[in-house]
Structure 1
Amino acid sequence: MDALNSFTTLMRRQWRLIAAACLVGIALGVLVLTLLPKKYTATASVFVDFLHPAGLTTQMAPATLGLVDPAAVESQIDILQSERVAIGAINRLDLFKTPEVLLHPLPIISGIYWLAHEVGLMGSPSDYEIRRAMIAAVMADTTVQRAGKSQGGQETFVIEVSFDARDAELAARMANALAETYLTDQLEARFDMAKLANDWFTERLQTMRKSVSVAEQAAQKYKADNDITMVSGNRAMSLVDEQNLGQIEEGLTSARSALADARSRLATLNQIIALGNPLAAVPDALASPTIQHLRSQYADLTQREADLRQRGTPPEHYVMGQIHAGIAEAQRLIMDEFTRIRNSTQNEVSSTESRIAQLEQQSADSAESLKQIKAKELHAAELDREASAVRTLYEAFMNQFQVTTQAQSYPVSEVRMVTVAQPPVKQSRRVGLILGLGGAVGVLIGGCMAWLRENAGHVKTGQELEDAIGAPFLGALPKVSAQLAPKNRRLGRLRPLLTYAVDNPMSSYAETIRNCKASLAHLKEEPTNAVLGIVSAVQGEGKSTFAANLAYHLASAGHRTLLVDADTRNPDLSSAFDKADSSGLIQVLSQGAAIDDVQIVDPELSLLVFLPCGAQETMADADELLMSPAFVQFVASMRKEFRYVIFDLPPLAPVVDAGIVSRQLDGLYYVARWNKTTGDVIRRALRKSHMAKERLIGGVINCVPEREGERPYSYRRS
């Protein structure tokens, strides 16, 4: 999302640059079209039958029908574009004798070659160089591609061969020559392949015939030596060993199940005997009638004992003694019965283990015997398969040998001519492609230039300003011209700009001014008269206009405000009030002039008082005044008289005046012009005056274009 926002912001800001670069690229494309010579393109087409190759029948290659590797078609295209076909086409038309027909460089290139030859920088080309140049020219002017797709949406096997030339007749002749050379080359290649295959098949068949005989004899000998009889390719030996092994495995499984059951019963009996508890829970399999009878007697005696105790019979009573003796006897008999059952179960476990051991030995012996028999049968089957495979391969080679013999005597190609090239009537210059390419290159270059402009480090967003000054961003001031501002004839022709926030209270400009005033609440803990300064890094960033608008806004809110032009080097604010030559701050500090004599009170807003910079004799004297004790006394005096005192200070980068004056101020506002000053310049300017940086309340971006001002919160995302 951040990348999309950045791209949208870049396009919104730099679309004019990108559009201009695109137009320049299109204009260059038009120029290229004007300089390029006329060209004609003729096209011939050939068909390559990949589904039914010549010389192969359906029975010989069933797997290839309907399955065509796209790389096979591309290979044929590469052959058509090869140097071999180009040389054949030139020889077919006998053009090596007239190289000027194919070698036609642009006039400017011809002129360069002629001049280099005349001054001795280049000699005459050799015949070999001319031939290579002709071949390269033919290959460069040749275009080979697939014809397109069929009605069913599948790509066809028709290949188009196009040739570009200045002469329409030559273009058609060369296109046909290239196609015919390709057809002839394919036919000759098939003949050579058939001859080579025939020689190889003859030699290979002799070797395979011997291999078939050896393989079949080896299979028969092995079966005879091991008394193995094969029926229809399968073993026909007795299956008794397999049946016996199956019966043994079944008995072994049953015995193991019985052993597990006996061991489980034995473990339960051992636990009961170890605990000595005659009433322990016994599985159904261990609940013999004897134990059940004894437990019933035990329960009756226990119940009688409980009844007698409830009646208060003492333990020493003879009846209680008889009952106790009966209970002890029942316990002994129950445990004796458990011991008898355990001994019987132990014998059962021992006998079952012996039986399992015998069955496992029988199973191992039977498995080993069966394994040996199967190994012999598998080896015999493998020998039969090898012999069968060798014979099948031999028969296939015999069939293919017959085909290659026929192909050698009468070769047939799967390639044929479909369309013969005709001399074209219209030129084939790709106007749309050239213009589109020019426009695309223009857009690419324009985009790179736009990106460089966007990432040149100029402050355009609130986040960038915050990073540069280390103070909060208080808002953006839209770009406003004197012609667009409401007419205000109170003072000077630029006064509409100085009172814009007051004259347009619902504008975004006024909203930023109000935000700056609200930031004063965090300046000190208790409300008091505040002395503020307006600074920027360099001249021309709009700090004077911002200072005037802030002062008028504070005065219109009912606060007595003094606006002081303290920029002794460029008193733009005094010029805006048409008081550039009037007495002002300099006279107050140097001559002790009364403020009431030099100040200007707005006739329509009496709470606003303006103190011009004043006429100055030398620049050095004016700068020294801002560092004098008189200035300190002046600030202290004005702090008592006015609710707000606002100084329009010199820029930070060129001079140190603002940094020194900031010691007497309560806070500073920083003004940066949109897309003018870089963050590095701002940081360097603030590093020159640590006091100014510490006094910063916040910063604003001035002269933001209207399209940026419409998105007051976009600075967080851009």
Structure 2
Amino acid sequence: MYQPREHFQSGHRFGIEFGGAVLSFDRVTDVLRRQWPLIAAAVGASLALVIVYLVLAKPMYTANARIMMDTRQTQVLDKDSGTNSALIDTGYVDSQVEVINSDDLILSIVRRLRLTEDPEFNGSNPGLLAVVTGKIMSVFESGEPPTQERIEHAVVESIQKSLRVERVLTTYVLSLNYRAHSPDKAVKIVNAIADAYIVGALEAKYQSTKRATEWLQQRSVELSEQATASDRAVQTFKAEHNIVGTSRGLMSEQQLSDLNTQLVQARAATAEAKARLDRIEAISDQDLAQPTVTDALNNSVITRLRAQYLDLQAQYADWSRRYGKTHLAAVNLANKMEELRKNIADELHRIGDAYRSDYEIAKSREASLDKNVKELVAQAGHTGQAEVKLRDLESAADTYRNLYNNFLEKLQSATQNQSFPLSEARLISTATKPDRKSSPRTVLALVGGLVGGLCLGFGAAFARELLNDVLRTPGEVEDELGVKCLGVLPDIRPPTKTRALLSASAKADEAGLSRYVVDHPFSRFAETLRNIKVSIDVARMTREIKVIGIVSSLPKEGKTTVAANFAQLIAMTGHRTILIDGDLHTRSLTRELAPNANSGLVEALSDPTGFSYHVQRSKETGLDFLPSIVASRMVNSADVIASRPMADLLAMLREHYEYIIIDLAPVMPVADSKAFSVLIDAMVYVIEWGATTRAALQESISGSEILQKKLLGAVLNRANPKMLGRIEAYKGKHRNSYYVEHS
């Protein structure tokens, strides 16, 4: 019984669905067995193209030179540079790659080496491909001869295509690779490019330093003039405003500072003189014999008078105690003591007058200094604005002077750098002549061709299998229909060329195919039909199977040939067998086996009991054949084939025959087989190998549930013998040793 697609999907342990079919390991293996010639052809074609390429391609040689970015060399003139200045920005290194690939640098190489005269670059000795390409491009170009500039530009582009400049990992090293047909030319060009880059870097540095020096010189002259003008403006302004400078600042400021100092000192002296005067006046009314003023104590006159006074005072005290105070001697001593006091007082008054004089002098000096300070302060208030302007002029003069000094220093440094030949790049590896070609790489090309051919072959093989979506193996049939595949019938038709040559005898060929099992009884075709008979006989052990329909989805799938040979095979075994041409539309079986018959199935339906009058027997095999003879195509063929008389006829035939084989019309074009399916016991479905698609098979079987129930098995017909041998290679090389394909 027909089963839906889920039936066979569950039967695979591993597989993926692709294009409506399950792609399992077994199916992949089958595809490779069937399509290995296509894969081999793809691999062969790929290898052939690679070999042709290797033969025709000119060998290329690659020369390599390396340049290193090194800023430590430039630090010879820069003693103040830190250690971090030796680091180079990675973007700078990448920029140098573009500099080496630049048009100007390559153009200098072209002109220096005269590469426009080289046949490899000027096109004077082109290859076949270049000639063809040039002819094609000439159609789209103007007929004017190329200018020298265009020729040079073309050579520059050619060199840039063959030149590869790249950074080595994360280092500051640039690798230059150039490919050419000649190893000497490759070395010559890559070394020339490296030298041109280093020389160009030095030249660029020289020109840059030269331009900087010229600008610094011009700017230094301007700054010198500006600094001189600023100094002149300062001096002029000082002269106009009577501003005199000293080592300690402006003279007015120095005078004011000095007067302030003197004024402070004068005020201190005045205070001191006033204190001495007040003290001398305070002690004038006290005991003059005991002076406490410093000048009095240090005065020799007062000291002498005080000594005399003290001696007299001692005598007066002694005599007064002895003789009394009224004694004449005591009175004389008292008088002398009084005279001495007057003398001491006079001397103190003289000292006080001196103090008073010093006080007045100090007071007068203080007033004078205070007056001078006030005058200078007043004068400073009038010249404040001038001093502000003077500071601005001095600041501008200092700025211009500092700028001039800095530019003068940079000018001297730039002058030294201009004559110092140092570059930030140096050649660390000079290109040497390569001893072997870099392309084409024979082994790599062959491996690539082999891998590419395998990929192309596998892709074409699977595309051919999956896109065609046809059936080629018993497993695919069983997965699709859910019934047993009874065998694979090889294609017994002559080769295509032979059929074309024998087209005039096509009818004879068809008749020969209908009796193939008679002529080739030990062929694989005959043995496969015997396997079908065995399957039917096994089924007959459980149920009655006499009426067997041979059907296909589409016309020209070989069901008629299968029905004729199957019936003759059964008859040859001694079983009573009848073959009926049930295809009332084409009647191809009748044309092959009984082209001269005058009556047949239609006439037998009129009188089922007299069917024997319309049957023709083969003397060689004993097969009875009931042809179909109609004057024109029947409109109601489905009604006729499934009519009550047809049922009566089959009942009569069941009594006389063991096997009733009926060649039915295809399922998809007409409804005859579906209508007749209720009258038969079993059906054998014929599927054309490699031609019938799954979609056609699905549509044919799914249209009738009775047909699904009556379906006993299927058979693959017209299998390509050569491809069949590849598919069944797993059966061993002796798999066909029991078959005899020739009579």
Instruction: State the TM-score, normalized to the length of structure 2.
Output: 0.50
Q: Larger C-alpha radius of gyration, 1 or 2?
A: 2
Structure 1 residue 645, shift from structure 2 partner: 1.5
Structure 1 residue 657, shift from structure 2 partner: 1.7
Map Cα deviations across residues 181-219 of structure 1 (whole Å, 9 max, x no partner).
4565788999999xxxxxxxxxxxxxxxxxxxxxxxxxx
Residues 502 and 553, structure 1, Cα contact 8 Å, conserved in 2: no
Aligned match for 1:518, one of 538, 557, 567: 538
Equivalent residue letter for 1:450: A
Equivalent residue letter for 1:454: E
Partner of 1:12: 33
Cα distance in 2 between the residues matched to 1:77 and 1:131: 22
Aligned match for 2:131, one of 101, 107, 110: 107
Map Cα deviations across residues 145-189 of structure 1 (whole Å, 9 max, x no partner).
999xxxxxxxxx996733225x78755532332343456578899
Unmatched tracts of structure 2, length 5 or more: 1-13, 16-23, 76-81, 84-90, 209-416, 496-510, 733-743
Partner of 2:739: none
Partner of 2:86: none
Partner of 1:458: 470
Pick closer, same or farther for the CA change 1:627–1:493 going to 2, 3 Å. closer
Equivalent residue letter for 2:581: D
Residues 29 and 438, structure 1, Cα contact 8 Å, conserved in 2: yes
Unmatched tracts of structure 1, length 5 or more: 62-70, 148-156, 194-404, 485-490, 714-718
Cα distance in 1 between the residues matched to 2:97 and 2:36: 43
Residues 479 and 706, structure 1, Cα contact 8 Å, conserved in 2: no
Partner of 1:665: 680
Structure 1 residue 678, shift from structure 2 partner: 0.4
Pick closer, same or farther for the CA change 1:467–1:451 going to 2, 3 Å. same
Residues 61 and 436, structure 2, Cα contact 8 Å, conserved in 1: no
How many pairs align? 472
Cα distance in 2 between the residues matched to 1:633 and 1:191: 118
Cα distance in 1 between the residues matched to 2:165 and 2:529: 65
Partner of 1:497: 517
Partner of 2:633: 619
Pick closer, same or farther for the CA change 1:579–1:505 going to 2, 3 Å. closer
Partner of 1:415: 427
Pick closer, same or farther for the CA change 1:561–1:169 going to 2, 3 Å. same
Equivalent residue letter for 1:547: A
> SS in structure 2 opposite 1:102?
helix
Residues 672 and 701, structure 1, Cα contact 8 Å, conserved in 2: yes
Bigger shift: 688-697 or 633-642? 688-697
Cα distance in 2 between the residues matched to 1:611 and 1:506: 20
Structure 1 residue 579, shift from structure 2 partner: 2.2
Pick closer, same or farther for the CA change 1:605–1:494 going to 2, 3 Å. closer
Aligned match for 2:556, one of 520, 540, 543: 540
Equivalent residue letter for 1:11: L
Pick closer, same or farther for the CA change 1:23–1:709 going to 2, 3 Å. closer
Structure 2 residue 582 is the aligned partner of structure 1 residue 566: yes
Provide the aligned C-alpha RMSD in A: 5.6
Equivalent residue letter for 2:631: E
Aligned match for 1:140, one of 151, 158, 161: 161
Structure 1 residue 555, shift from structure 2 partner: 5.1
Structure 1 residue 454, shift from structure 2 partner: 0.4
Residues 183 and 433, structure 2, Cα contact 8 Å, conserved in 1: no
Cα distance in 1 between the residues matched to 2:673 and 2:33: 36
Equivalent residue letter for 1:479: P
Structure 1 residue 683, shift from structure 2 partner: 1.9
Structure 1 residue 611, shift from structure 2 partner: 1.5
Pick closer, same or farther for the CA change 1:115–1:498 going to 2, 3 Å. same
Cα distance in 1 between the residues matched to 2:557 and 2:167: 63
Cα distance in 2 between the residues matched to 1:436 and 1:614: 64
Residue identity over aligned pairs, in percent, reads 23
Cα distance in 1 between the residues matched to 2:527 and 2:105: 76
Partner of 1:476: 487
Structure 1 residue 682, shift from structure 2 partner: 1.6
Partner of 2:700: 685
Cα distance in 2 between the residues matched to 1:439 and 1:102: 34
Partner of 1:488: none
Aligned match for 2:649, one of 625, 630, 634: 634
Pick closer, same or farther for the CA change 1:80–1:681 going to 2, 3 Å. farther
Structure 1 residue 16, shift from structure 2 partner: 1.8
> SS in structure 1 opposite 2:595?
coil
Pick closer, same or farther for the CA change 1:591–1:54 going to 2, 3 Å. farther
Residues 165 and 174, structure 2, Cα contact 8 Å, conserved in 1: no
What are the residue-to-residue correspondences of 1:421-436 with 2, within 5 Å?
421=433
Structure 1 residue 653, shift from structure 2 partner: 1.8
Pick closer, same or farther for the CA change 1:465–1:610 going to 2, 3 Å. same
Map Cα deviations across residues 394-431 of structure 1 (whole Å, 9 max, x no partner).
xxxxxxxxxxx9xx876686633444448x99997667
Aligned match for 2:717, one of 695, 702, 705: 702
Equivalent residue letter for 1:46: A
Cα distance in 1 between the residues matched to 2:184 and 2:421: 38
What are the residue-to-residue correspondences of 1:202-241 with 2, within 5 Å?
none
Structure 1 residue 472, shift from structure 2 partner: 0.8
Structure 1 residue 648, shift from structure 2 partner: 1.2
> SS in structure 2 opposite 1:568?
coil
Map Cα deviations across residues 97-140 of structure 1 (whole Å, 9 max, x no partner).
779973547222322333223xx6x9998998766644332121
Structure 1 residue 15, shift from structure 2 partner: 1.9
Residues 641 and 672, structure 2, Cα contact 8 Å, conserved in 1: yes
What are the residue-to-residue correspondences of 1:49-198 with 2, within 5 Å?
86=106, 89-90=109-110, 92-93=112-113, 102=121, 104=123, 106-117=130-141, 133-142=154-163, 161-164=177-180, 171=186, 173-181=188-196
> SS in structure 1 opposite 2:634?
helix
Pick closer, same or farther for the CA change 1:482–1:7 going to 2, 3 Å. closer
Residues 22 and 443, structure 1, Cα contact 8 Å, conserved in 2: yes
> SS in structure 1 opposite 2:718?
strand
> SS in structure 1 opposite 2:714?
strand
Structure 1 residue 641, shift from structure 2 partner: 2.6
> SS in structure 2 opposite 1:475?
strand
Structure 1 residue 661, shift from structure 2 partner: 1.6
Cα distance in 1 between the residues matched to 2:119 and 2:621: 90
Cα distance in 1 between the residues matched to 2:160 and 2:568: 79
Cα distance in 1 between the residues matched to 2:544 and 2:62: 91
What are the residue-to-residue correspondences of 1:439-458 with 2, within 5 Å?
443-455=454-466, 456-458=468-470
Pick closer, same or farther for the CA change 1:586–1:515 going to 2, 3 Å. closer
Cα distance in 2 between the residues matched to 1:514 and 1:72: 87
Structure 1 residue 513, shift from structure 2 partner: 4.3
Cα distance in 1 between the residues matched to 2:729 and 2:570: 25
> SS in structure 2 opposite 1:650?
coil
What are the residue-to-residue correspondences of 1:588-627 with 2, within 5 Å?
588-589=603-604, 592=607, 594-603=610-619, 606=622, 609-620=623-634, 623=637, 625-627=640-642
Equivalent residue letter for 1:135: V
Map Cα deviations across residues 452-500 of structure 1 (whole Å, 9 max, x no partner).
210021122345434544x41333314153799xxxxxx9564233686
Residues 578 and 657, structure 2, Cα contact 8 Å, conserved in 1: yes
> SS in structure 1 opposite 2:677?
helix
Residues 61 and 437, structure 2, Cα contact 8 Å, conserved in 1: no
Structure 1 residue 519, shift from structure 2 partner: 4.0
